[in-house]
Structure formats: structure tokens, C-alpha cells
């Protein structure tokens, strides 16, 4: 494995990384404590049966420095499959060339799975910057009216 390379975890590797996955997803996806158990239960099931994928970046010392969760979804509006980046979290600031390499890897994975595009939603401005610098375009905005 080359240094700082993003790798796709096998389902059997998920338990080894589970504590880091829980932490990174709670932070990146901004899951509140009341909803966290149900969220994590569904995520674990999805990762173990490959409905979701976990990508890990390790440094030269094999220390975990970033995690990404993806899912292959179906876009009913356009009648096509796409790769959805559900969660992206990095413990360390990474140079642009590493993110570029990761996005090439993700794009190649999506193509290999028959996906027509890669999509992502995020409230994090740093994620916006990363995505825009790699050719992502803002497609829509999501608005919500909570009934509380």
C-alpha cells in the first residue's frame, strides 16, 4: 500500500475500525445522541452486508487519518445508479494531491459499479471546498421545516 492511500475495507475489517467509524460518522453527519443508536445500528448492518462501503486512509505508520462512508443508491428522477458519499471525516489536514487521488479512486469505483455520478450532501464548508476543487457542482439545496 502506498503512503496515505485510501483503501476500501472488507466487511470483515469493519469491526476493527468500528470505534473510529462511530466517532467519525457522529462528527461528520452531526448525529444527535438520541438518534445515534438507531443510526449506528443501521450503518453497521449496511457495512457488514456491503450495502455501504467504508474507505480508510492510513499514514505511513498505519495510523488512521481519514474515513469515508459511501453507498450505491438509485436516482429515481434520472433512472440511474449513483455513488453517494454519506460521510467524510479527516483527523488531519491533507494536501490537495491526496484528496485528488482519493476522488479518482472513488470515481473509478463508482464507474466500476455502473454509477453515472458521485453525489454528496454536507453542511461542512471544508467538504464543499474539497468537492468543488474536484469538479463537483452544486445541484440542489435541501430545506427542512421541523415539526417539534
> Rounded CA gap, 82 and 75, in Å?
7
pLDDT confidence of residue 2: 46
> Rounded CA gap, 121 and 87, in Å?
9
Residue 15's domain spans which residues?
6-133
Q: What is the pLDDT of residues 40-93, one digit of tens each?
A: 999 999 999 999 999 999 988 889 999 999 999 999 999 999 999 999 899 988
Q: What is the pLDDT of residues 3-40, one digit of tens each?
A: 577 899 999 999 999 999 999 999 988 888 999 999 99
- Partnered with residue 56 across adjacent β-strands are 7, 67
Task: Report yes or no on 139 lying in a domain.
Answer: no
Task: Report yes or no on 110 lying in a domain.
Answer: yes
Task: Report yes or no on 145 lying in a domain.
Answer: no
pTM comes to 0.86
Q: How many domains does the chain have?
A: 1
Q: What is the CATH number of the domain that holds 54?
A: 3.40.630.30
Whether 122 shows a pLDDT value over 60: the answer reads: yes
88: nearest Cα among 102, 107, 104, 73:
102
Task: Report yes or no on 1 lying in a domain.
Answer: no
Whether 118 shows a pLDDT value over 80: the answer reads: yes
Task: Report yes or no on 55 lying in a domain.
Answer: yes
pLDDT confidence of residue 81: 97
Whether 95 shows a pLDDT value over 50: the answer reads: yes
> Rounded CA gap, 72 and 70, in Å?
7
Whether 107 shows a pLDDT value over 70: the answer reads: yes
DSSP state of 95: -
> Rounded CA gap, 109 and 112, in Å?
5
Amino acid at each position: 500500500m502506498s503512503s496515505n492511500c485510501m483503501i476500501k475495507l472488507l466487511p470483515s475489517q469493519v469491526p476493527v475500525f468500528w470505534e473510529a467509524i462511530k466517532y467519525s460518522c457522529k462528527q461528520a453527519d452531526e448525529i444527535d445522541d438520541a438518534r445515534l443508536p438507531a443510526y449506528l445500528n443501521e450503518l453497521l448492518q449496511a457495512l457488514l452486508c456491503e450495502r455501504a462501503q467504508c474507505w480508510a486512509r492510513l499514514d505511513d505508520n498505519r495510523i488512521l487519518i481519514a474515513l469515508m462512508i459511501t453507498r450505491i443508491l438509485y436516482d429515481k428522477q434520472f433512472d440511474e445508479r449513483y455513488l453517494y458519499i454519506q460521510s467524510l471525516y479527516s483527523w488531519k489536514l491533507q494536501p490537495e494531491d491526496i484528496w485528488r487521488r482519493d476522488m479518482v479512486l472513488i470515481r473509478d469505483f463508482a464507474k466500476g459499479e455502473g454509477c453515472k455520478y458521485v453525489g454528496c450532501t454536507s453542511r461542512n464548508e471544508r467538504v464543499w471546498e474539497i468537492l468543488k476543487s474536484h469538479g463537483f457542482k452544486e445541484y440542489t439545496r435541501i430545506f427542512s421545516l421541523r415539526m417539534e
